[in-house]
Amino acid sequence: MKAIIIEDDISAAIEYEQILSECGIEKVSVFNNYVEAEENIKIQSPDITILDVFLKDQSSLDLIPLLKEKTSDIILVTGFPKDELRQVAVDFDVINFLPKPVNPHTLKFQIQVIAKRRAAEMHESFCFVKSKNNYKRIAYNQIHFLETEGNYTSIYTGNDKYILKKSLKNVSSELPTKIFTRVHRNYMINNNHVKNLDLKNNNIEMPNDKIILVGGKYRNDIKKAIGDKFNVI
């Protein structure tokens, strides 16, 4: 797990780095100016960012959209915890906001909570597919859909196809239901790759112009999966 500290107070940066180390996070980069921090974020994609709101050269708040794009968890710290700054944190959906001087126990607790959650997400974000004597790691978001034929199931990603000597029923029991939904006796889809759901004609459009039929008994399942996961307007 990687972390970045953006802080122009050297003593504070050293303290944050020590706390991160105590939490088992050793890959830590420290920057005291906006430009270098921005360049590093683009390259490194940090898991956790401790971000001082006010740097000597400019406000660091403009870095938040980039950090969000990189899916970094942000801990904002500031010596000026005014209401308008708290509102900025709310607007950017940053839930970790600490006034200076930072309480080391509070910071350590927040880091531990973030690290534990991210570790759990990492564990649930991929699987290994056995192909002869090899085990191929595949991220769940790479999988578009699964198709079964007899006792064999094919996993389709954007560019590849993997054939397993398992029924779809057995394979589906090992996949997270919050990501994958059974839509037909022969198909299971990744909800995140649905391009269009046509319930009138009982089909789903997937990437690469793939059309998948929706079985009658699975209509409510896919409607619920789409409705629960995404904003339906």
Strand partners, 96: 75
Q: Does domain 127-229 have CATH number 2.40.50.1020?
A: yes
The answer to which of 53-67, 134-148, 217-231 has the lowest mean pLDDT is 217-231
The answer to which of 58-67, 180-189, 220-229 has the lowest mean pLDDT is 220-229
Q: Does domain 2-123 have CATH number 3.40.50.2300?
A: yes
Determine if the pTM surpasses 0.85.
Answer: no
3-state secondary structure 120-182: HHHHCCEEEEEECCEEEEEEHHHEEEEEEECCEEEEEECCCEEEECCCHHHHHCCCCCCCEEE
Q: Using one digit for the tens of pLDDT, what is the confidence trace for 23-80?
A: 999 899 999 999 999 999 988 889 999 999 999 868 899 999 999 888 899 999 998 8
Name the segment(s) of the chain with CATH classification 3.40.50.2300: 2-123
